[in-house]
Amino acid sequence: MARHRGRGACSSPAPRYLAHSHHPHPDPDTPEAWSRPQTRVSTQRIGQVISYNQSPDLPFDRSINPYRGCEHGCIYCFARPSHAWLDLSPGLDFETRIIARPDAPRRLAEILRSPRYECRPIVIGTNTDCYQPIEKRLGITRNLLEVLAEHRHPVSLLTKSNLVQRDMDLLAEMAKDGLASVMVSVTTLDSELKRRLEPRTPSGARRLDTVRALSEAGIPTGVLLAPVIPALNDHEIEAIARVSAEAGASSLSWVLLRLPHEVAPLFRDWLAEHYPDRAGKIMGMIQASRGGRDYDHRWGRRLRGEGPFAELLARRIQLACRRHGLDHDTRPRLETGLFRVPGRSGDQFTLFPQPAGSDSSLNSSGPNQK
């Protein structure tokens, strides 16, 4: 099994939809090319920028992901199997073959102008991190926020990165009207565990600094403790709750480790490489919370599991939240009533003026005005 410096995956399994697979071998004359794989970024044109869901486990019904794949390299990432749809490996390819969607802001603006669009909060970064390193250069997330701000559309962000602080000017202004909130994922306060588990992410301390900065700017900010991994980071629950509250977080939520499809063997390889002494215990506790399997996809059980250990985790987090004055599993209610479609050069006036006494007798933004 190979180690790849600065990467999470220890292997690169073939995509499950390929009829044939191959297993690359390093060139002995160029070992560095194998031990330090470089990130490659390509672009993708998209038709539907907003993804809709009907999951009873999620507090939102729509999201946007500016990128496919994630250079953060978190070994546990439940989004890894999505790379198989591109005939790329959920292993090393997921964190080195990044697909950017630069036309997402333009497509979003087109959708928001549709008279059929119904405004509800959009969450950005639910599948892969919207502030992963490439965002610093491409700025797709920033451009999405500019479109949403222009339309007075509510948005919530989910990230592990302190790069979100770059956009505090937009977020703070939107937050004044209840249009923005942020969830910062904090997995561990242990720097060594972070380096192995999430190799290209900021430290736990840096993320808490981000929570503090966002909160002080008036942006509602919560902490997502995810994933909770038995016998690896679950002992940090109370400490993370305490420091999150001290940093100004308003809420704390959590997710039990999820291992769908290729994530399970990738995680097993990672455990064998980094924590062989407790790999059996960790997987045993996971399976005890997943009906004897590595993963349980059923609604109501995917995120939290079941059984004595899962119930104990839930109770501990509830008590920690109560002790430190944190809301548990609640997010700020975002305002949808301010949504509007801004006028553009060339827009026509409405054909029929509004009756006297209405809010406006002429509508310069056409029939899409809300």
pLDDT in tens, 196-213: 999 999 999 999 999 999
Residues 302-330 have a mean pLDDT of 95
Which tens digits make up the pLDDT trace of 122-133?
Answer: 999 999 999 999
What 300-305 contacts at long range (C-beta under 8 Å, 24+ apart), as own/partner pairs, is 300/56, 300/57, 302/57, 302/258, 303/57, 303/255, 303/256, 303/258, 304/254, 304/255, 304/256, 305/256
> Which pTM value belongs to this model?
0.86
At 354, the pLDDT band (50, 70, 90 cuts) reads very low
Which tens digits make up the pLDDT trace of 261-291?
Answer: 999 999 999 999 999 999 999 999 999 999 9
Which tens digits make up the pLDDT trace of 228-268?
Answer: 999 999 999 999 999 999 999 999 999 999 999 999 999 99
Q: How far apart are the first and last CA of the chain?
A: 57
Sequence-distant (≥ 6) Cβ neighbours of residue 17 within 8 angstroms: 84, 85, 87
Return the pLDDT at 37.
81
| Integer Cα distance of 320 and 317 in angstroms | 5
The residues with which 222 forms a beta bridge, in sequence order, are 183
| Integer Cα distance of 12 and 104 in angstroms | 29
Return the pLDDT at 364.
32
* Burial class for 275, CB neighbours closer than 10 Å (0-12, 13-18, 19+): middle
Q: Is 222:183 a contact under the CB 8 Å cutoff?
A: yes
Residue type, 173: E
- Please, what sign has the CA dihedral across residues 5, 229, 305, 240? negative
At 181, the pLDDT band (50, 70, 90 cuts) reads very high
**Tally of CB atoms within 10 A around 63:** 20
Which residue, 213, 209, 212, 242, is CA-closest to 225? Answer: 242
Return the pLDDT at 190.
98
Assess whether pLDDT exceeds 70 at residue 3: no
Nearest 10 degrees: Cα torsion 365, 368, 369, 370:
-170
Which tens digits make up the pLDDT trace of 165-178?
Answer: 999 999 999 999 99
Sheet (strand 221-228) strand order = 51-52, 62-64, 122-124, 155-159, 180-185, 221-228, 251-256, 327-328
Assess whether pLDDT exceeds 60 at residue 164: yes
Q: Is 37:4 a contact under the CB 8 Å cutoff?
A: yes
Which of the pair, 139 or 25, is modelled with greater confidence? Answer: 139
Assess whether pLDDT exceeds 70 at residue 17: no
Question: What are the structural domains, with CATH classification, of the chain?
Answer: 44-65+101-325 (3.80.30.30)
Which tens digits make up the pLDDT trace of 54-86?
Answer: 999 898 999 999 999 999 999 999 999 999 988
